[in-house]
C-alpha cells in the first residue's frame, strides 16, 4: 500500500492530522487536533455536542465553508488540502453523512453506479456494467436487509431516518473505501438497525482499511469494537485510550472525563 511506513511500529500510516485548527465564520471550532490513523485500525471519536466532531469529519471529506487556520492533513503521504472532495472520494475516502441529502429524480442505483465507476476509472479499472453492478448491489442490500424496492427509488428521497443511514452503509460497502468516516451513523437507529449497520461496518474491516466512527454514544461500540477511542472536547482531543475508555465515558460522562483529563 502506498503510504508511509512507521518503521518502529511496523504499520502503514493512513491518515495523519497535525495541529489542525479550523474556524467557521470567525468562530474557532478545532483548536489543535493531533491524530494518527494506521491501516487496519478502527478509531472512535466521541464527544459532546458542539465539540467539533462533525467539523472534523467534514474537513476530512473536503466540505467547503471551513477556514483552516493551522495544521496539516496527510492522507497516504499526500496533502489532503490540495484535493477536491470528489478526488478524495476517488482516492478512497468515504464520509457517511449524519444527515444524508435527498435528491429526488435521481435514481439511487444510477448515482451509485456513477460513483463506483468514477472511482474505478481513477484506479485505471474498466467500468462495471449495469448488470454486474446490480448483482453486487443486490447482494449487499440483502446483507443490510434492504428491500429490493430501494433499487428503483431516488437518492434518499422519502426515506425514513433509518433507511437513509442504511443507504449510507450500502454506499460505503459498494464504494469499498480505504478510509471510512462515519458521522453519527448510529443516531436515530433502533437496535435492530444498529446491529445491521454494525455488521456492515465490520464487513468492511480489513488490514488495508481504516474506519473512523464519530459518535455521541457508546452504543455502537458494543457492536463495532474500536482499537482506539478519543474524546474530543472544545476542539481538542482531551483523552485517548483503548476500547474500555468508551465504558469509562459511559460511567463518568463527558464532564467527568474532561475533568479527569484536566487533572
Partner 1 sequence: MNMTEHWLQQFQSLDKKNNPHSALDELRHGAFLRWEKAGFPSTRHERWKYTELMGLAETPFQLPTPSAVLSNTVLQTLLPAVIENSLRAVFVDGEFSTALSSKISNNHLHFGSLHDGFKMFPQEFESYLESIKTPIDSIDDLNTSFSRNGALIFVPPHVKLPQTIHLIYLYTRTPNQMAHMHNRVHLAEGAEATIIEHHIGHDDNIYFSTTVNHISLEQQAYLNYYRCQEQGINAYHINRLYLTQARASVTNLFCLDFKGHLVRNEIEQRFIGQDAECHLHGFYLGKGRQHVDNYITVDHQVPHCLSSQRFKSVLDDRSHSVFHGKVKVAKDAQKTDATQHNANLILSTQAQINTEPQLEIFADDVKCAHGAAIGQLDESALFYLQSRGLDKETAKQMLIYSFAAEIFLAISELEIRAFWQAHLNLYFSGIPLHEELITC
Residues making contact with partner 1 (CB under 8 A): 61-65, 84-86, 88-90, 94-95, 97, 100-101, 103-107, 109-116, 118-119, 122, 130, 133-134, 151-152, 154, 171, 175
Question: Smaller CB distance to partner 1: residue 101 or 191?
Answer: 101
φ, ψ of residue 229 to 5 degrees: the values are -125, 135
Shortest Cβ distance from residue 192 to partner 1 (Å)?
26
Question: Smaller CB distance to partner 1: residue 112 or 194?
Answer: 112
Shortest Cβ distance from residue 131 to partner 1 (Å)?
8
Shortest Cβ distance from residue 144 to partner 1 (Å)?
17
Question: Smaller CB distance to partner 1: residue 17 or 89?
Answer: 89
Shortest Cβ distance from residue 90 to partner 1 (Å)?
5
Shortest Cβ distance from residue 109 to partner 1 (Å)?
4
Question: Smaller CB distance to partner 1: residue 112 or 257?
Answer: 112
Question: Smaller CB distance to partner 1: residue 166 or 239?
Answer: 166
Amino acid at each position: 500500500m502506498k503510504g508511509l511506513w512507521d518503521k518502529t511500529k511496523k504499520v502503514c500510516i493512513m491518515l495523519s492530522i497535525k495541529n489542525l485548527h479550523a474556524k467557521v465564520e470567525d468562530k474557532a471550532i478545532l483548536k489543535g487536533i493531533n491524530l494518527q490513523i494506521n491501516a487496519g485500525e478502527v478509531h472512535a471519536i466521541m464527544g459532546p455536542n458542539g465539540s467539533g466532531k462533525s467539523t472534523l469529519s467534514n474537513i476530512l471529506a473536503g466540505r467547503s465553508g471551513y477556514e483552516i487556520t493551522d495544521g496539516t492533513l496527510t492522507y497516504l503521504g499526500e496533502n489532503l488540502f490540495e484535493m477536491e472532495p470528489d478526488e478524495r472520494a476517488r482516492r478512497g475516502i468515504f464520509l457517511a453523512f449524519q444527515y444524508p441529502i435527498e435528491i429526488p429524480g435521481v435514481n439511487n442505483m444510477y448515482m451509485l453506479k456513477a460513483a463506483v465507476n468514477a472511482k474505478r476509472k481513477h484506479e485505471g479499472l474498466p467500468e462495471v456494467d449495469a448488470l454486474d453492478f446490480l448483482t453486487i448491489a443486490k447482494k449487499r442490500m440483502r446483507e443490510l436487509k434492504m428491500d429490493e424496492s430501494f433499487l428503483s427509488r431516488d437518492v434518499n428521497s422519502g426515506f425514513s431516518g433509518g433507511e437513509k443511514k442504511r443507504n449510507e452503509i450500502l454506499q460505503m460497502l459498494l464504494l469499498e473505501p480505504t478510509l471510512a468516516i462515519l458521522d453519527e451513523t448510529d443516531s436515530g437507529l433502533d437496535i435492530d438497525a444498529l446491529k445491521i449497520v454494525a455488521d456492515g461496518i465490520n464487513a468492511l474491516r480489513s488490514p488495508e482499511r481504516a474506519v473512523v466512527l464519530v459518535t455521541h454514544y457508546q452504543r455502537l461500540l458494543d457492536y463495532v469494537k474500536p482499537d482506539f477511542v478519543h474524546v474530543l472536547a472544545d476542539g481538542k482531543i482531551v483523552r485517548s485510550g483503548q476500547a474500555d475508555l468508551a465504558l469509562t465515558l459511559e460511567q463518568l460522562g463527558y464532564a467527568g472525563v474532561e475533568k479527569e483529563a484536566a487533572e
